Structure 1
Amino acid sequence: MNASERITVRLMMPDRWLEHVAELPADTTVEAAKAFGIREMLQRSSDDPADFYTEYAERRIRDETRTLADVGMPPRGVLSIRAYDLGHYPPFRG
């Protein structure tokens, strides 16, 4: 897949039963896709994307600067967006 291709991605917030299907360029970063999904699904811009993490194929994506193509996102692939909670702590930044 080259960077100029567009792929259809299912952005999901499983803990909130929300889903949004979007066609994004393959060179979109996971971080940008996550921010887009949060805005589209929650319908507000006040949520900080840093309060959420992403999963692909039930595995956490630790480096969200990677592109959708880099993580191997297939057409109709699912990117799960989850809020940090008691079982999943945000990275320590201190």
Structure 2
Amino acid sequence: MHDLIGFQRDLLYVVAGLDDPNGLDIKDELEDYYESEIHHGRLYPNLDTLVEKGLVEKGKQDERTNIYTLTRRGRRELEARREWENEHLKQSPQSFDIPA
């Protein structure tokens, strides 16, 4: 997971949070989060990288549509990342409380 760019980590989180999403489902979710358009030329090569790394599996929904699912390795990587984040947040002297 340490060798992924932030966009690829975000893709992992989105794939993990949706049930067998297709590329457009993932694209829509990321566009909501980033509040900007995600181009196909950015989305699909990064999804393919995650597939090549064994973090995401690509399957067929129909002749034209692929679906993506997190692999066991991908889930383990996300869990390890969450533990790492939680450990570092505990060590931070800064407060993460947002004032009202």
Q: Same fold (TM over 0.5)?
A: no
TM-score range, shorter chain: 0.3 to 0.5
Q: Which has the higher strand share?
A: 1
Q: Which has the higher helix share?
A: 2
> Which of 1 and 2 has greater Rg?
2
Structure possessing the higher relative contact order (Cα contacts under 8 Å, 6 or more residues apart): 1
The TM-score with structure 1 as length reference comes to 0.36
